Amino acid sequence: MENFATYESRVGKIGSGAKEIFSFVTDMRNFSRFLPEHTIENWEASVDECSFEVSPVGKSRIKIVRKDPHDTVKYAGYGLNNTEFYLWVQLKELKEEDTRVKLTIKADLNPGLKMIASKPIKEFLDKLVSGMEEFEDWANLNR
């Protein structure tokens, strides 16, 4: 992964415990709650993986590849032109009802795409963090 571009979100603050957040983000069926409306088509999900289409980008597939309880979840995915990418969700519980979250994407992008994609990916990650901060239903699992 040494040639992969790395993009990191800001650190967000969530008013819930790491255990609840971890349980929620390790069930891929819950991801649809954080996706922008009217941008995703053909959403399919199981506990460990999901697939969807984003116009005009095309089909993406994401699956969980590692779970470190109440700390880190790692996902692997494929997007446009089978571009390989990884997403990390890192959690740090400072105290009860106060968990910090940081999102990281590593993507195998060619040099031209790295320059074009940098700002939109960073903005996307920050929007996801904002959505996680505003979300209040962490205990309501989609099981």
* pLDDT number for residue 41: 83
* pLDDT number for residue 89: 96
- Distance between CA atoms of residues 47 and 43, nearest Å: 13
What is the enclosing helix (H) or strand (E) of 120? Answer: helix 111-134
Answer whether CATH 3.30.530.20 is correct for domain 5-24+64-134: yes
- Distance between CA atoms of residues 51 and 109, nearest Å: 20
* pLDDT number for residue 143: 46
Report the chain (143 residues): mean pLDDT per 10 consecutive residues. 85 95 92 73 91 76 95 91 88 95 91 82 88 85 55
Per DSSP (E only), the strands in 9-97 are 12-14, 40-45, 49-54, 58-68, 72-78, 84-95
Which are the contacts of 13, defined by CB distance < 8 A and separation ≥ 6? 98, 99, 100, 101, 133
* pLDDT number for residue 122: 87
CA quadruple 30, 31, 35, 37: dihedral positive or negative? Answer: negative
The reported pTM is 0.86
Q: What is the residue extent of each domain of the chain?
A: 5-24+64-134
Which are the contacts of 125, defined by CB distance < 8 A and separation ≥ 6? 7, 8, 9, 103, 104, 105
